[in-house]
Amino acid sequence: MASERDRSTRHIPLGDLVEELLGHEGPLPIVAAGDPVLRRGTEPFDGQLDPALLARFVAALRATMHAAPGVGLAAPQVGVPLRIAVIEDPAPVSDEVRLVRGRVPQPFRVLVNPSYDGIGPQRAAFFEGCLSVPGWQAVVARHAEVRLTALDEHGRAVDEVFGGWPARIVQHETDHLDGMLYLDRAEPRSLSSNQAAAELWSQPTPERAAEVLGFTLPD
């Protein structure tokens, strides 16, 4: 049985849905895990929003991402099943973390109709979280390097290789557009509250967590 919210939004034209969202002041409400919009996948963007509305929506996604705060946000996370995401990471981390995780600053980017392919066999495993799964983190093994193809908000082609933490962000946000949460790819035994992650597993790598919690990291 569909929820009241699901029934009320499924058949609304996307332009009208976005207009309604933008009619409220402040950051957009972030949808939590369990809402069907996070699992249905998304429509490719094909002009459903006119350029002015698209620009306003992108600005709202960016403001919401900053307020959360987070380093990426996908349209389904604010209830809009459209294949658009934004990313931005100032990477306020120590030099040690920067080196181990490859977390380098990323400028603001809009990803329209993105997809990615892993490059090579190397996988990197680290704790990550999600604005739609507040309060929790888990270790996810992802491609260490990916090739992203997309459009930007002006319709220009993007074809770029990402490594390190930026590659993780790209994969996480693109997965949202395919109806996937990071928990679908996570090591279940690593699941930790934010408090436990901060107090016990704040090391640059999850090797200690793997040893104590009893899970295996990729070679």
User: Which residues does the annotation mark as catalytic?
Assistant: 173
Bridge partner list, 116? 148
Q: Where does residue 135 fall: left (phi above 0), alpha (psi -120 to 50 degrees), or beta otherwise?
A: left
Of 81, 91, 55, the residue nearest 165 (C-alpha)? 91
Look up residue 110 and give its DSSP letter: E
Structure tokens at 218: 């990729």
* Alpha-carbon gap, residue 64 to 213, rounded angstroms: 34
> Which residues 6+ apart lie within 8 Å of 52 measured at CB?
none
Q: Is 172 annotated as a binding residue?
A: yes
Half-sphere exposure of 74 (CA within 13 A, CB side): 33
CA separation, residue 67 to residues 10, 29, 178 (Å): 27, 11, 24
CA separation, residue 134 to residues 25, 129, 185 (Å): 22, 8, 17
Half-sphere exposure of 86 (CA within 13 A, CB side): 22
Residue carrying the six token digits 């040893």: 211
**Residue list for the binding site for Fe cation:** 130, 172, 176
Binding site, by residue number, is 130, 172, 176
